[in-house]
């Protein structure tokens, strides 16, 4: 959000839990709940106008052996990462078209391209999200909306990730560098729009 604010934009974040201690405008909203998403987005559009950049950055990681997965594991993953994009898209894409265009950017992962052992629920949702994003692009890019799917193939450098993975931060993905890349993609000229790119640390095997 700070990267976009630095360029004079008004940025609003939506998360399930909110962030009351943040100096940023981050509001509590379950993006998988239509009764929560649509009224809040409508209110934001009434206040600020149609969004110029929408970033969908879902996270619901389930790591478990396939035979131990529950129905809830699959449904919760799908709701958090795929249904949320459906509801966000339905709330923002047409207003963006009416507002003259913009960018709808979606965060993917390694699991968007290949399934790994113990990642069945996560992979199924990320594969679905990738296909959904392609559908968005083919329907809305002719109307002036740049839809891009950004695959993040690596561990993002956060305090939680450092504690979990015990990795050298130099081998992790910098959140500031990710934000800069998202900003650059949103600024691409119409003659060279990227739909899908992958980001990874220089040390990451692929």
How would residue 116 be classed by pLDDT, with cut points 50, 70 and 90?
A: very high
How would residue 203 be classed by pLDDT, with cut points 50, 70 and 90?
A: confident
pLDDT digits (tens, 9 = 90+) for 7-31: 999 999 999 887 767 789 999 999 9
Look at residue 168 in the predicted model and tell me its pLDDT: 84
What's the chain's average pLDDT? 94
> May I ask the CATH architecture of the domain 52-199?
3-Layer(aba) Sandwich (3.40)
Question: For residue 202, what are its two tokens?
Answer: 């220089």
Residue 135 has pLDDT above 90, yes or no: yes
How would residue 204 be classed by pLDDT, with cut points 50, 70 and 90?
A: confident
- Single out the residue of 182, 131, 120, 124 nearest to residue 152, CA to CA: 182
Look at residue 151 in the predicted model and tell me its pLDDT: 97
Look at residue 65 in the predicted model and tell me its pLDDT: 97
Q: Kindly list the domain boundaries of the chain, sorted by start residue.
A: 52-199
Look at residue 41 in the predicted model and tell me its pLDDT: 98
Look at residue 58 in the predicted model and tell me its pLDDT: 84
H/E segment holding residue 146: strand 145-152
Tokens 């600024």 sit on residue: 187
CA separation for the pair 63, 121 (Å, rounded)? 8
pLDDT digits (tens, 9 = 90+) for 72-102: 999 999 999 999 999 999 999 999 999 999 9
What mean pLDDT is predicted for residues 53-74?
94
pLDDT digits (tens, 9 = 90+) for 145-177: 999 999 999 888 888 788 777 888 888 999 999
CB 181 within 8 A of CB 150: yes
């Amino acid at each position: 959000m700070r990267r976009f604010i630095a360029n004079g934009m008004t940025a609003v974040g939506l998360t399930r839990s909110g962030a009351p201690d943040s100096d940023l405008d981050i509001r509590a909203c379950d993006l998988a709940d239509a009764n929560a998403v649509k009224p809040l987005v409508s209110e934001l559009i009434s206040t600020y106008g149609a969004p110029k950049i929408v970033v969908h950055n879902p996270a619901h990681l389930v790591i478990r052996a396939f035979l131990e997965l529950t129905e809830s594991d699959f449904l919760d993953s799908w709701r958090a990462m795929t249904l949320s994009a459906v509801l966000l898209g339905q709330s923002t894409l047409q207003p963006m078209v009416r507002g003259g265009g913009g960018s709808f950017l979606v965060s993917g992962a390694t699991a968007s391209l290949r399934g790994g052992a113990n990642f069945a629920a996560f992979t199924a949702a990320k594969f679905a999200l990738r296909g959904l994003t392609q559908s968005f692009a083919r329907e809305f890019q002719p109307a002036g909306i740049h839809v891009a799917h950004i695959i993040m193939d690596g561990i993002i450098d956060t305090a939680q990730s450092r504690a979990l993975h015990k990795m050298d931060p130099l081998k992790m993905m910098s959140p500031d560098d990710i934000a800069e890349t998202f900003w650059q993609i949103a600024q691409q000229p119409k003659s060279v729009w990227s739909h899908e790119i992958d980001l990874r640390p220089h040390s990451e095997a692929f």
